[in-house]
């Protein structure tokens, strides 16, 4: 179920809300690459802390752990919702980081291709290519095949295999 921004703001602290707000769509594209990495790190730390808190509260509810405060926790819905919000924020930031990395890779690939094309065109315009031309020499020597050609047709192999199986079945049936 989707969580509205108002609910996010109500469930998170001021610092966490500021971090999560930056992960939403129009705002995340304005974040610089270095800031995106630091934002990702901070949200991950908050998510891990919230996950540990939710785990501790679940153990308190089940009676497996001693209560942290004066009274044991009765419900952990707020902590679980907070964990969901931070996890969704992590997913958004990770996908934005992957999108940017993919864009950088494509741009780098295009730049490399253009540089290679420029080098090729430069080499074609130069008339003298004697340093890199082929010369007559002994050349390559053929290597004789060591594997013999199989003269038995595949159908014949299958026929013999099936005949052997049938003969074995007859012997086993006796």
Q: What is the pLDDT of residues 103-120, one digit of tens each?
A: 999 999 999 999 999 998
DSSP 8-state secondary structure symbol assigned to residue 68:
S
Q: List all residues 6 or more positions away from 29 whose beta carbon is below 8 Å from its beta carbon.
A: 96
Residue 46 lies in a domain: yes
Residue 13 lies in a domain: yes
Residue 70: pLDDT above 70?
no
Residue 72 lies in a domain: yes
To the nearest whole percent, how much of the chain has pLDDT over 70? 90
Beta strands in the chain (DSSP E): none
**Rounded to whole angstroms, how far apart are CA atoms 97 and 23?**
11
Residue 167 lies in a domain: no
**Cα atoms found within 13 Å of the Cα of residue 27, Cβ hemisphere only:** 12
pLDDT, tens digit, 9 for 90 and up, residues 26-41:
889 899 999 999 999 9
**Rounded to whole angstroms, how far apart are CA atoms 82 and 8?**
8
Residue 145 lies in a domain: no
For residue 73, the SS3 value is: coil
Residue 172 lies in a domain: no
18: containing domain: 5-122
Residue 132 lies in a domain: no
Predicted local confidence at residue 46, as pLDDT: 94
Predicted local confidence at residue 136, as pLDDT: 63
Tally of domains within the chain: 1
Residue 65 lies in a domain: yes
pLDDT, tens digit, 9 for 90 and up, residues 12-67:
888 999 999 999 988 898 999 999 999 999 999 999 999 999 998 888 888 887 78
For residue 174, what pLDDT band results from cuts at 50, 70 and 90? confident
**Length of the chain measured in residues:** 174
Q: List all residues 6 or more positions away from 53 whose beta carbon is below 8 Å from its beta carbon.
A: 79
Predicted local confidence at residue 129, as pLDDT: 55
DSSP 8-state secondary structure symbol assigned to residue 31:
S
Instruction: Return the CA Rg of the chain.
Output: 34
């Amino acid at each position: 179920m989707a969580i509205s921004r108002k609910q996010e703001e109500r469930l998170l602290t001021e610092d966490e809300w500021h971090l999560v707000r930056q992960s939403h769509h129009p705002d995340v594209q304005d974040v610089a690459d270095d800031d995106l990495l630091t934002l990702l790190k901070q949200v991950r730390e908050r998510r891990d802390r919230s996950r540990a808190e939710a785990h501790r509260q679940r153990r308190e509810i089940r009676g497996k752990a001693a209560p942290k405060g004066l009274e044991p926790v009765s419900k952990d819905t707020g902590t679980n919702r907070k964990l969901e919000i931070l996890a969704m924020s992590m997913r958004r930031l990770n996908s934005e980081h992957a999108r940017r990395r993919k864009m950088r890779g494509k741009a780098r690939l295009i730049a490399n291709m253009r540089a290679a094309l420029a080098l090729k065109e430069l080499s074609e315009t130069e008339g003298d290519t004697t340093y890199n031309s082929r010369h007559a020499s002994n050349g390559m020597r053929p290597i004789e095949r060591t594997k013999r050609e199989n003269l038995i047709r595949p159908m014949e192999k299958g026929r013999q295999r099936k005949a052997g199986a049938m003969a074995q079945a007859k012997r086993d049936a006796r």
